[in-house]
Amino acid sequence: MKFRTPRQKDSGHLAYLRELSCCVCLDNTSTEAAHIRFTEPKVAKENPGMQQKPDDRFAVPLCGRHHREQHSGNERAWWNGHEIDPHYLALALYNVSGDVERGEQIIRAHGHH
């Protein structure tokens, strides 16, 4: 039997993400910390299941509109349509958590804005 480890929470990191610009449109007026739901074996990211959020390190900054779009259909296809690897972006931002300037540089380097 496989036991899932408890979700890793990091409220400080989520607050940091809300200080950044949306990684899709660069709007920074109402940024939300958006958790990535789909599985990515390359970074040991599993789908936590219905109504369960993944670890907070697997979150990225999105404006309210893009956050709603992210969860409105096939999430993997949505990210692919924006040419963003959300898991890579999430982990890169987690590595510089707290440093807004470096976070903004990472966001601008990832997207096709």
* Whether the Cβ atoms of residue 78 and residue 69 lie closer than 8 Å to each other: yes
Share of the chain above pLDDT 70, in %: 78
Q: Is there a domain that residue 104 lies in? A: yes
pLDDT at 39 over 90: no
Count of domains forming the chain: 1
Q: Is there a domain that residue 4 lies in? A: no
User: Virtual CA dihedral for 38, 44, 48, 54, nearest 10 degrees?
Assistant: -80
pTM recorded for the entire structure: 0.82
Q: Is there a domain that residue 103 lies in? A: yes
Q: Is there a domain that residue 3 lies in? A: no
Average pLDDT over every residue of 8-21: 91
**Structure confidence by residue, pLDDT tens digits, 93-104:** 999 999 999 999
- CA dist 41 and 67 (Å) reads 23
Q: Is there a domain that residue 81 lies in? A: yes
The range of the structural domain enclosing residue 73 comes to 11-110
Average pLDDT over every residue of 64-75: 93
Q: Is there a domain that residue 15 lies in? A: yes
